[in-house]
DNA sequence: CCCTTTTGTCTGCTATACCGGACACACTGT
DNA sequence: ACAGTGTGTCCGGTATAGCAGACAAAAGGG
């Protein structure tokens, strides 16, 4: 039907070229990561716009490998045990995440506050590990969700060492708009980044969430570039001296993890 | 060299039909899981008998998706951040692992002993989570490593409910040989399994490791089949009454997690 | 220095993986 | 009973993904 003369158009409108199996795999995994819950194959086909017949085939193969698992008798699928093993191997190879996570657990235990290990993935920010504190205060952020860098205190620290031009190139304009609609001025943000770098820590209040303050300290590699942050998520009205005390522990913790990276 | 007239032979010896991308992906991930360290692409091509040109393509795609990462400037690759996020979502979806892990942490804290959450993957046993105790006693086992079932106390509990024939079919003969060379008699092992099932707990001493005793209690699903165990790893010379006390906590903990699975 | 090995990229051929669509079956509600 | 919806399987055609092989460039290594 689609004849010779509109080939170019076809490409533009419907990128309906037959997809590669690997691309399907990536789409599936990415979808599951984002939605964080099991889904039926038919449903999934609609959501990622893939033909059902292909998905049955691909998911069958992934299930066989243990990368996916059939969750219930309605045939819903989700991540399988294999990914747990992959991640375990990954952690073994990454002293950063392993040590950082231990430190975060320790901090959460000794202070009772919610602590996190945060890092960048591409041009987004994510919480790699979260350890809830014993306090009643509920936090909103979830592990693994990708968040615009300007929304976070940690994001400001993680950009330390990048040039202004690099930062401008990295962060898409829409990421400067906060969840409540406010906009962060790029100049202000760049200033924050320089500031965070100079001080060696960052604090933000009521940024992504109205009642939350975030304290962050950097973890740096052997060349002093920030590779992660550890941070506390606390009620905005936490007393000054308590905040100072927490910040001190955070900086010490960040230094400890950084030291382990060098050794 | 392989000429026209031996086509049939070709098929038999070397199943050299062009491989699918997905299969390559699974092979790559499985290889990395087993070897647990970064590898160059050329090297990898030899090890899994795949053409280099294809691997460059596939690994490029997986790297783009964050499933793999380039580790050093020599171009070696290993698991990437994405698998960590996948695993995190997986753990969230598994009440067993989530609750079990919490209970293990609680037990390790209140008793000061090293506690573990263990389960089966295929015909092997693995530690899904380990929480070191505050005691000086160092344990050897590591999370995520696959271990022969007969080497462990937990393994005996996890087979409860299986018939003798099923057990014989499941466990490869070489798994009855301990790290120090001793062999476990199949009959003795089967007896241990029945015994563990009847008592509702298991104890082994100096099995995988000379100076270690392992106490284990089952976590069962709604149909009373064991799906995991929680256990303590303690010095072999721990006094009897202390062991009894720990065992009691363990059984209570296992029951608690089992209850959560039902609800 | 030359010689060997490896690495990353590119190209054209063709076996085949993916797709569309059809089919049987199981539910559900009316 | 019957239409409507969703699930799991199968099949044939064709766009294309994967392969072999060639290549330059870099990296050892003697």
Determine whether the interchain pair A21/B20 forms a contact, defined as Cβ–Cβ distance below 8 Å: yes
Q: What percent of chain A has pLDDT over 90?
A: 53
Q: Which of A22, A86, A93 sits opposite B87 (nearest CB)?
A: A86
Would the CB atoms of A144 and B85 count as touching at under 8 Å? Answer: yes
pLDDT at B157 over 70: yes
**8 Å CB contact of B90 and A81:** yes
Nucleotides of C under 7 A from a protein CB: 6-11, 15-22
| Residue found under tokens 């087993």 | B34
Distance from the A120 Cα atom to the nearest Cα atom in chain B, whole angstroms: 10
**Percent above pLDDT 70 for chain A:** 89
**Protein-nucleic contacts, chain B 12-51 to strand D, CB < 7 Å:** 16, 18-22, 24, 50-51
Q: Is the pLDDT of residue B12 over 70?
A: no
Distance from CA of B248 to the nearest CA of A (A): 26
Rounded to a whole number of angstroms, the distance from the CA of B82 to the nearest CA of chain A is: 9
Q: How far is the CA of A191 from the C1' of C13 (A)?
A: 57
How far apart are alpha carbons A241 and A33 in whole angstroms?
A: 39
CB contact under 8 A, B79 and A86: yes
The DSSP string of B1-52 is ---GGGHHHHHHH---SPPPHHHHHHHHHHHHHHH-S-B-HHHHHHHTT--H
Question: Which residues have C-beta within 8 Å of that of residue B133, sequence separation ≥ 6?
Answer: B108, B111, B112, B113, B114, B115
On whether the CB atoms of residues A151 and A177 are closer than 8 A, the answer is no
pLDDT: is B38 or B73 the higher one? B38
CA–C1' A19–D13 (A): 17
- Return the CATH architecture of domain A94-262: 2-Layer Sandwich (3.30)
Domain B8-84 indexed as CATH 1.10.10.10: yes
**What does the pLDDT read at residue A123?**
81
In chain A, what are the domain boundaries?
4-84, 94-262
Give the H/E segment covering residue A98.
helix A95-111
Which residues on B lie below 8 Å from A81 (Cβ)?
90, 121
To the nearest whole Å, the CA of A198 is away from the closest chain B CA by 29
Q: What is the number of CB-based contacts under 8 A between chain A and chain B?
A: 124
**Taking a C-beta distance cutoff of 8 angstroms, is the pair B117, B108 a contact?**
no
- C1' (D16) to CA (B61) span, angstroms: 17
Q: What mean pLDDT value characterizes chain B?
A: 85
Pick the CATH number of A4-84 from 3.40.50.620, 1.10.10.10, 1.10.1040.20, 2.40.37.20: 1.10.10.10
Residue located via tokens 């360290």: B37
Nearest CA in chain B to A130: B88
Instruction: Find the CB nearest A65 among B26, B80, B86.
Output: B26
pLDDT digits (tens, 9 = 90+) for B187-230: 999 999 999 999 999 999 888 777 889 999 999 988 889 999 99
Higher-confidence position of B100 and A91: B100
pLDDT score of B122 more than 80: no
Specify the higher pLDDT residue, B121 or A57.
A57
């Amino acid at each position: 039907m689609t004849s010779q003369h509109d080939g170019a158009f076809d490409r533009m409108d419907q990128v309906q070229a037959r997809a590669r199996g690997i691309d399907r795999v990536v789409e599936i995994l990415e979808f599951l990561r984002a939605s964080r819950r099991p889904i039926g194959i038919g449903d999934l086909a609609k959501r990622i716009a893939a033909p059902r017949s292909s998905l049955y085939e691909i998911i069958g193969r992934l299930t066989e490998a243990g990368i996916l698992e059939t969750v219930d008798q309605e045939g819903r699928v989700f991540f399988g045990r294999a990914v747990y093993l992959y991640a375990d191997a990954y952690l073994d190879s990454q002293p950063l995440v392993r040590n950082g996570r231990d430190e975060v657990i320790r901090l959460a235990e000794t202070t009772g506050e919610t602590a996190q290990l945060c890092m960048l993935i591409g041009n987004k920010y994510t919480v790699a590990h979260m350890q809830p504190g014993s306090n009643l205060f509920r936090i909103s952020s979830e592990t693994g969700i990708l968040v615009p860098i300007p929304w976070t205190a940690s994001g400001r620290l993680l950009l330390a060492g990048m040039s202004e031009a690099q930062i401008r190139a990295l962060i898409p304009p829409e990421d400067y708009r906060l969840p409540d609609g406010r906009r962060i001025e790029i100049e202000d943000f760049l200033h924050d980044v320089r500031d965070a770098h100079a001080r060696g820590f960052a604090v933000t209040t009521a940024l992504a969430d109205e009642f939350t303050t975030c304290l962050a300290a950097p973890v740096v590699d052997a060349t002093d570039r920030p590779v992660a942050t550890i941070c506390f998520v606390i009620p905005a009205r936490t007393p000054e001296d308590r905040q100072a005390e927490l910040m001190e522990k955070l900086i010490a913790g960040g230094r400890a993890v950084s030291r382990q990276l060098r050794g």
